[in-house]
């Protein structure tokens, strides 16, 4: 099996790469690339994202044909893809960080700044927080509800269809922290920074 972690120059993805390689333990081929042919021919794709919504979308668009290859992989061929942090947010139609920016449009919805209730909640939301699993998700197999995951974000994805939400976390409001729509999976938290339980999520994705 080939798993491709998309490297599109959006910040440091070494912890994502290291975690996948640690879990895969040479049983699965993990490659880090922006090569379109390799992405389209792989079995699963991971789309990390660090920085702002706009900077990540711009970085994707800067690699000629990359968005089209990701569309083909996830929408046409319906192969499993995992978006992490801004990688999940980019599934949306539109994001409002820095300026209004068009997303990938795979899961209808928008990305807004977290309402910090006039400074009552610090932004970015950084650190460990409990997740509330609201629907059975393949990536949460054998993971208990109310476990803690590691977050770093100031913006939240609000999908139009609440049925895609697989987990939320309580920070100022119920923030969507995980989605599943057919072959498309996303986590707002960082599984690669969430200790053994995070590695279990990565393992579940690899074993899909």
DSSP code of 183?
T
**Residue closest to 95 by CA, chosen among 56, 68, 67, 121:** 56
Q: Compute the half-sphere exposure of residue 147: CA atoms within 13 Å on the CB side of its CA.
A: 18
State whether residue 34 is helix, strand or coil: coil
**Residue closest to 181 by CA, chosen among 168, 166, 201, 198:** 166
Catalytic annotation, residues:
85, 190, 192
Cβ proximity of 140 and 92 under 8 Å: no
Give the pair of three-digit tokens for residue 161: 């269809």
Beta pairing partners, 112 = 156
Cβ proximity of 100 and 64 under 8 Å: no
């Amino acid at each position: 099996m080939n798993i491709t972690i998309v490297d599109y120059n959006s910040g440091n993805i070494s912890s994502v790469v290291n975690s996948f390689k640690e879990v895969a333990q040479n049983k699965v081929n993990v490659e880090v690339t922006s090569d379109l042919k390799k992405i389209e021919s792989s079995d699963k794709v991971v789309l990390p994202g660090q920085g702002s919504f706009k900077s990540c979308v711009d970085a994707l668009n800067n690699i000629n044909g990359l968005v089209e290859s990701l569309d083909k992989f996830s929408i046409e061929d319906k192969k499993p893809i995992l978006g992490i942090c801004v990688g999940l947010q980019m599934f949306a139609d539109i994001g409002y960080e820095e300026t209004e920016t068009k997303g990938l449009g795979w899961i209808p919805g928008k990305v807004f700044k977290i309402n910090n209730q006039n400074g009552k909640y610090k932004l970015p939301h950084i650190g460990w927080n409990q997740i509330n699993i609201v629907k059975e998700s393949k990536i949460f197999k054998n993971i208990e509800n109310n476990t803690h995951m590691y977050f770093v974000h100031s913006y939240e994805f609000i999908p139009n269809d609440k049925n895609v939400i697989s987990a939320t976390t309580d920070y100022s409001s119920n923030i969507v922290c995980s989605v599943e729509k057919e072959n498309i999976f996303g986590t707002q938290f960082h599984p690669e920074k969430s200790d053994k339980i995070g590695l279990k999520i990565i393992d579940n994705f690899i074993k899909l």
